[in-house]
Amino acid sequence: MKFNILTLFPDMFSAVNTSMVGRAVKNGLIDFNVVNIRDFSTDKHKKTDDMPFGGGQGMLLMAQPLWGAMDSVGAQNKRVIYMSPRGKLMDQNLIEDLAQEEEIVILCGHYEGVDQRVLDYWNCEEVSIGDYVLTGGELASMVMIDAVARMIPGVLASREAAVDESVYSGLLEYPQYTQPRSFEGLDVPEVLLNGNHQLIHLWKLEQALRLTRARRPDLFQNFLSRRDELTRPERKVLDKVISEGSEDEQGK
């Protein structure tokens, strides 16, 4: 998959050449084309921003350099994402949808925004990574790229499943432990050590359900509609968690 990134700060993208995404680039699974918007300014001072018509705070990215940058990556025929706090909220569904594309264009804004004509003409999909405002779209785009990259076949090591099709999908992850069994007087839960896979599975499910109910009641509610997919013992666990009072402090 190829990511065309339009930015005023190309140096920031050295971060995506490390770790698992970096390995995917080396293996030819992912390709980055980082384009400096400033290179396309026809202004003699390479200006890229100006004041908004009608007044208002801050500066806007101008249409002219963005037009050139969009043209240079063939954005006409590609899905174009504009990272923006006013966009639709990014979630795993959007990520998995984007991972189906062979090539996308990501526009990273800075200043107070971009000339609306760019967004309209180039059919930009506005995407936000959360209800907070960053100084620019670069970090947001890297969050998106990282999440999309791990959905591309071959990017994760085979034992790390990208799509969790198990009963746990849609739930927050249960607590996990590794060696040693006892550390500073803190013991790993006994059930995980006894080798009874059914008991271990039901314990993990219970923990995941409790955490999800406490921290993400919206996800817990969605999970309830999958009750029919559960085995009898799994349903018993779900009923137990539902019947527990909400006074326990799992959400901490």
Instruction: Cite the DSSP H helix spans in 27-156.
Output: 63-72, 92-98, 116-121, 137-149
As measured in angstroms, the least distance from the Cβ of 8 to ligand ADE is 13
Tokens read off for 96? 């998995």
Residue placing its CB nearer to ligand ADE in the complex, 3 or 220: 3
As measured in angstroms, the least distance from the Cβ of 144 to ligand ADE is 8
Residue placing its CB nearer to ligand ADE in the complex, 76 or 123: 123
Residue placing its CB nearer to ligand ADE in the complex, 69 or 140: 140
Side-chain-facing half-sphere of 143: CA atoms under 13 Å: 18
C-alpha 46/C-alpha 63 separation (Å) is 13
Determine if the peptide bond prior to 233 is cis (ω within 30°).
no
Stated as kind and residue range, the H or E segment containing 104 is strand 103-108
As measured in angstroms, the least distance from the Cβ of 152 to ligand ADE is 21
As measured in angstroms, the least distance from the Cβ of 143 to ligand ADE is 8
Binding site for ligand ADE (CB under 6 A): 83-85, 128-130, 132-134, 137, 140
Q: What's the DSSP call for residue 195?
A: -
Residue placing its CB nearer to ligand ADE in the complex, 111 or 168: 111
- Number of residue whose CB is nearest ligand ADE: 140
Residue placing its CB nearer to ligand ADE in the complex, 127 or 205: 127
C-alpha 211/C-alpha 188 separation (Å) is 18
Say if residues 21 and 29 touch (Cβ distance below 8 Å): no
Q: How far apart are the first and last CA of the chain?
A: 39
Residue placing its CB nearer to ligand ADE in the complex, 48 or 84: 84
As measured in angstroms, the least distance from the Cβ of 63 to ligand ADE is 19
Q: Which of 15, 1, 156, 21 is nearest to 79 (CA)?
A: 1
As measured in angstroms, the least distance from the Cβ of 57 to ligand ADE is 14
